[in-house]
Amino acid sequence: MQFELKSAANSQELWLTGRFTFTDYASFRKLVGEVVETRVPKIVVDLSRVDFMDSAALGMLLLARDEASRRNQSLILRGAKGQVKRVLEVARFDSMFVMEN
């Protein structure tokens, strides 16, 4: 998994590329910690370049959402497609996150 962080007006965008799996836990957790410290009102996790996601990645997204929520920040998932979109739909993430195309 590769991560790229982009700053935008009133938000931070976290762009993920490749496979998002359990092996990414430490680096993703560290990056989320850095992003929530910025105290921007909106955090966008762009999944448009992720081609595979496992159940551990789902858990990491939930942890990130909870961390952002504790600081009154919103966490939005954007651009999921293919297998990633199907995994999010089966897990009913549309009821737990704001999802953008």
User: Distance between CA atoms of 21 and 50, rounded to whole angstroms?
Assistant: 10
Domains of the chain: 2-100 (3.30.750.24)
Q: Do 48 and 85 contact (CB within 8 A), yes or no?
A: no
Instruction: Determine the average pLDDT of the residues in 75-86.
Output: 98
Instruction: Enter the pTM of the model.
Output: 0.94
Check the CA dihedral 33-37-43-48 and report its sign: negative
Average pLDDT on 66-92 reads 97
One-letter amino acid at 61 equals: L
Residue linked to tokens 């739909």:
89
Sign of CA dihedral 56, 57, 63, 65: negative
pLDDT at 4 (0 to 100): 94
| Alpha helices (runs of H) in 1-101, residue ranges in sequence order | 25-37, 55-70, 82-90
For residues 77-93, give the mean pLDDT: 97
What digits encode the pLDDT tens for the residues 3-32? 999 998 899 999 999 999 999 999 999 999
